[in-house]
Structure 1
């Protein structure tokens, strides 16, 4: 539910956001990827060419793919993405992807645009609201009550997506688009019983931890093959079979079906069965190696799962930490749910300013108290984003500026409910920007007291001591996951491009990219700046040493980018204090991650 509400809140300007992949399905395992789809608005696609802009052409192309023929409309940007083939204009999937390349996400990876760290895959796609003819047989295909007719109708009503990737090794792959049923697949997985979902999770663990780790088997099978197999087995078996006591039977049924598919080099797509997902992919020596591995694992029956570190480690952790499993289930699930949310970054990855009124309407329109609380939690982050866009210094007079200050403060105070520190640190930034240094000191001191070692840093896994604390302290379970995050979570502070709240000393760093600073680093940096402007020399020198110590201890610094921005803040402090520093020691070598290179080059250009 947190994931779904985040998708709704972070859809903007008509561009729908769909979190797909393992995370979007609610199944975040070790090494799970984060795939985000963005549906481009105002592009009409249909199989009725006389009515709309793009016609779906599936003639002379592999099932599951299509060409998008341009029928009418003279949008110049769209025409530039078309290629002329025998007098017909076709939308190029390659040119379509290129328009979304940026300095932050400069890499094309299959149908996706990927950021420099490889953390996120963004797939920009097109939406056809009507169901396509190639998938019509799926609607009428007989089954044993799964999926239900209502579920089928919901999937058909959504239509399909077109993802910019062509048939591998095709001469015209530049003009081809893959037909995607991502939304329908998510709906099917959401309809799984507990046993179906557990079976799906176990199959993915077996693939990721065991099969793919075997020599010569990496990247031969993928998660989509597992999901497709689960769909077929779920359709074939009566729903009465999917019970907890039949989990091993269902798991082995799926495993044996995968072996059968590999043996016959045939894995039919669930919605378009004529599309063989194994076509020209698992052949020759690769097929032999994969079959040898699968048959060897099959000899172990369901016990092959214990070759996975995730399975064996979880079993040992349960025994070692808790002695027995009595009353363990609900408490441990609570800790695991917290761990999933804290490790994930996709829920908090978007920093677009979204209309406040729209968020309020989302909260008020839901009757469920639980869903409202989730929307409210997402809204606290959006409040901070809104604060970044409010001008707090203008030539319209003191009365206007005071009104803007109060409005910005109102939004930032609401954002303090998101986690333990980030909202308060933005309040401190507001006080600093308006020269209220003493007020800033009070907020910074309060924020620092919250940055204690038991806190959970977003984007990192829970340590054993943190898991133990969450397990033992009952108050968090009473509060629930969403309310607990306000007290136990720490998050990096992100200043979006052209932020009005970023300190002037860092303004140059948000001209091109958003700027991310770890919480304790920002506390010490703002403390230094306040003392500097108050001419408290001894105090700002102490703050400078505090930043140095924070970096050395990597105190709540989770990654390379956080360390780079911390070094950047340290370098700025040295420059302001007029102290010499060794460039090689305080600068990371990658100019992309450390804008102090740019700052120094600008300073050197004015040297006489």
Structure 2
């Protein structure tokens, strides 16, 4: 709407003061947008802008930016947050939070936003006033004076026995050092170093990225927490807004929320850069995002799409999503709420782009809660600035036409089709989002379960130690006083521990008495419905190992009846199995997460060494797959190789073959063997194909087909050269052949 940068400077009053709180010039800019906008074609034709806004809203709804999918994203991520916090691995040291676009519901498949995870350290207490000091814990005092920039602080270490500074003498310099006036302050590099050593929190392939450690699509940050609202942000609580947003109630909630202290990433430019900690108000920001309407959320998504399409290819990370969010907050705060309607989406987007333009022009994007903190400090160079301004100018002047150039989620193409009245199906995209969310949350539930077991006890510990650990975990879960999503998370996680406890008890019973006690069966029954097959297959395996073949047959028939190959998705917590192409599965993903876990997922079946007597002898060799040489090539992600793990579908047909052999049901046995063979040949998503081939090879040996058995073992070695029990089977088979000759 402005012809050049000089026009913008003139109409915005030429404000260059980067230290003011910007509140008045923000309102001035907004007034100018509506005043000077009346002279443009867009505002001369209100029907045009309204039609574009409504069509654009429809397109955004089709790609998942609609109320239902936003709430689904939020519920999924908050449920995931609750499950991880329930893990006994972290509950004594860490508190887990999910932040950013995924938990806000402000992303799309095309934007592919990272999952930002914050782990709060519980052993330190951060205070802002000496009166808040507590004995017996590590107290850290926030220093927020003229020596630190707005939005940052130092953390002075206090004594544990008295509210006094820690003396300078005898200080371990790795954790802290003194500043210029002799205060002992914590180094911000401490958390970054610590997070790289947290096995299980971050997987292999971790990359340091500022204060975060990135692994695949997950950013993990360790942080200290202060339970009181930052001093630097308290002026915001009394600030009056044009649109009466945020409300006093929201402000009160924000004021009562924790703030995080995270290590500063990159070059901050301070002489004490290693002592400065960034104040993060992301919990309060999450609250604000949850109180936006659908038009405001769509504005934010569009801003991210615009930066990804037009700016990031030229200058990556110059305009961050966080800046876009901050711009949105300022615009909402300084406009009447009635403006933010679907029919005004283009107008609202133009308003946000104008404010972003002004921020770049002044090289100042004030933090929403701490205006003195300039988010653009050091970001906008003289080479970058005019190019970005020209891009934004073009988008503003295009009256929405520039949106047709957005390839993210095919937004431009979809918008063109909408205007041509060509019907497009929105359901496929929503199904894809649901599938991705469901698989991710279900996978994390498995990791939480197995992570708790791993941190509490190694796979090879004595059964009595594992039993005591499982009983303690279950007792802790039962004693939790929780409601809402926390209760749902407990109901998802707890039954898995019950099945594991029952299996360990049953293994002990089978070893001693060749039977299964009532106590073991009781615990097993509590977890039978965690998914379609895995827990029931464990029960069938126990029955098979005790010679109860007919009871095992009944259990297997029930599993097969519910294992719909068109719907059920295999899932493994240790090996990626790929995505399904079955439309029936996609359609079922719209179920509530906890219900979908039970009826459309089949987890792999895993036996620990302490469960060995519940496991058929043919599968037990998998526990000894690794030679000493093989172990040298394993990583922490391969710890599961000390167990026997097999895909549910493979194990189902293998158990059927063995049971029908004992029951002398020759035709049923032949059918089971045929299904096992066909599954291995045709199923592309087997997590443990080498184990399946090893089981098939042993079936071939039982069928007196040693050549076919050897072929199976050879194929197994082709799948996994190291850490493969096929070597044991080949040696045994050749030894048997030599002795028989």
Which TM bucket (shorter chain)? 0.7 to 0.9
Render the CA deviation track for 1:88-145: whole Å, top value 9, x for unaligned: 4332332333333255524243323344xx1433222211101121111221122131
The SS at the match of 2:279 is: strand
1:45-84 superposed matches below 5 A: 45-49=126-130, 51-52=133-134, 53-59=139-145, 60-73=147-160, 82-84=175-177
1:409, distance to aligned residue in structure 2 (A): 0.9
Secondary structure of 2:384 counterpart: helix
Residues 287 and 515 (structure 1 numbering): CA distance in 2 closer, same or farther, change over 3 Å? farther
2:304 to 204, 209, 222: 204
Give distance in 1, aligned partners of 2:560 and 2:295.
45
Residue matched to 1:490 = 601
Report the alpha carbon displacement of residue 148 of structure 1 after superposing the two structures with TM: 0.9
> How much does 1:389 deviate?
4.9
Point out where structure 1 has 5 or more consecutive residues left out of the alignment: 471-475
Is residue 2:492 matched to residue 1:380?
Answer: yes
Match of 2:526, SS state, is: helix
RMSD, aligned CA: 4.8
Residue 348 (structure 2) pairs with residue 237 (structure 1): no
Does residue 521 of structure 1 match 2:647? yes
Q: How far, CA to CA, are the matches of 1:494 and 1:70 in structure 2?
A: 49
Unaligned 5+ residue runs, structure 2? Answer: 1-74, 453-471, 572-576, 626-633, 702-708, 732-741
Partner of 2:718: 586
State the match for 2:193 in structure 1: 98
513-522 or 241-250: which moved more?
513-522
Q: 1:344 aligns with which of 433, 440, 443?
A: 440
- Whole-angstrom distance in 2 between the partners of 1:582 and 1:230: 60
Contact 1:35-1:120 within 8 A present in 2 as well: yes
1:357-379 CA-partner distances (Å, limit 9, x unpaired):
676677x965xxxx57x944762
Q: Equivalent residue for 1:161?
A: 260
Q: Secondary structure at the match of 1:225?
A: helix
Greater CA drift, 229-238 or 482-491: 482-491
SS of residue matched to 1:350: helix
Specify the alignment match of 1:250 in structure 2: 348
Q: How far apart, CA to CA, are the structure 2 residues paired with 1:497 and 1:226?
A: 49
Q: C-alpha distance in 1, partners of 2:492/2:389?
A: 51
TM-score if structure 2 supplies the norm length?
Answer: 0.64
Determine the C-alpha separation between the residues in 1 that align with 2:553 and 2:125.
55
Cα contact 2:295–2:340 (8 A) shared by 1 = yes
Is the deviation greater in 574-583 or in 405-414?
A: 574-583
Instruction: Give the deviation of 1:268 after TM superposition.
Output: 1.2
**Structure 1 residue 20 corresponds to structure 2 residue 94:** no
Decide whether aligned partners of structure 1 residues 188 and 252 sit closer, same or farther in structure 2, where only a CA change above 3 A counts: same
Going from structure 1 to structure 2, the CA distance change for 1:66 and 1:434 (only over 3 Å counts) comes to farther
Deviation sequence 1:529-573 (CA, Å, 0-9, x none): 78579988999999898677656645445xxxx4xx434554676
Q: 2:392 aligned to 267, 290, 294, which one?
A: 294
How far off its partner does 1:156 sit?
1.1
* C-alpha distance in 2 between matches for 1:583 and 1:336: 34
Pick the structure with greater CA Rg: 2
2:689 equivalent in structure 1: 566
Between 1:335-344 and 1:224-233, the stretch displaced more is: 335-344
| Alignment check: 8 A CA contact 1:497 1:512 kept | no
Which moves more between the two structures, 94-103 or 274-283? 94-103
C-alpha separation in 1, matches of 2:273 and 2:676: 52
| 1:337 CA drift (Å) | 6.2
Deviation of 1:486 after TM superposition, in Å, equals 5.0
CA distance in 1, matches of 2:586, 2:553: 34
* Cα distance in 1 for residues equivalent to 2:593 and 2:645: 21
Aligned equivalent of 2:466: none
Matches within 5 A, 1:66-465: 66-73=153-160, 82-85=175-178, 88-100=183-195, 101-102=197-198, 105-106=203-204, 107-110=206-209, 111-115=211-215, 118-143=216-241, 144-166=243-265, 168-170=267-269, 172-208=272-308, 210-212=309-311, 214=313, 216-306=314-404, 307-310=406-409, 311-312=411-412, 324=423, 335=431, 338-339=434-435, 341-342=437-438, 344-345=440-441, 348=445, 349-351=447-449, 352-353=451-452, 356=474, 366=483, 371=484, 375-376=487-488, 379-389=491-501, 391-392=504-505, 393-394=507-508, 398=513, 402-416=517-531, 420-425=532-537, 427-428=539-540, 439=551, 442-444=554-556, 446-448=558-560, 450-455=563-568, 465=583
Q: CA deviation at 1:204?
A: 2.5
Distance in structure 1 (CA, Å) of the matches to 2:515 and 2:148 = 62
Displacement of 1:242 in angstroms is 1.8
Contact 1:520 1:556 (C-alpha < 8 Å) held by counterparts: no
Look up the SS of the partner of 1:99 in the other structure: helix
CA shift in 2, pair 1:412/1:241, >3 Å: same
Deviation at 1:515, TM superposition (A): 4.2
Contact 1:39/1:124 (8 A) holds in 2? yes
Query: Offset of 1:190 from its aligned partner?
Result: 0.6
Cα 1:583/1:11, change in 2 over 3 Å: same
SS of residue matched to 1:277: coil
CA displacement at 1:38 relative to structure 2: 1.7
Deviations 1:19-50 (A, max 9, x none): 11211112342212112222222321012246
Deviation at 1:191, TM superposition (A): 0.8
1:47, 1:56 within 8 Å by CA — same for their partners in 2?
yes
Q: Distance in 2 between matches of 1:91 and 1:508?
A: 47
1:37 to 118, 125, 132: 118
- State the 1:482 CA deviation: 4.4
Q: Once the two structures are superposed, what CA deviation does each residue of 1:188-230 show, in whole Å capped at 9, x if it has no partner? A: 111111221222222233333x13553x233222211111111
In 1, Cα distance between the equivalents of 2:312 and 2:580? 25
Asked whether the equivalents of residues 342 and 489 of structure 1 are also in contact (C-alpha less than 8 Å), the reply is no
Q: Which has the higher contact order (CA 8 A, sep 6+)?
A: 2
Structure 1 pair 455–304 and aligned structure 2 pair: CA distance change class (3 A): farther
Distance 1:413 1:108, change over 3 A: same
Shift of 1:17: 1.8
Which position in structure 2 is the counterpart of 1:473? none
Q: Secondary structure at the match of 2:252?
A: helix
Query: Take 2:543 and 2:265, find their aligned partners in 1: how far apart are those partners?
Result: 53
Task: Check whether the contact 1:55–1:68 (CA below 8 A) recurs between aligned residues.
Answer: yes
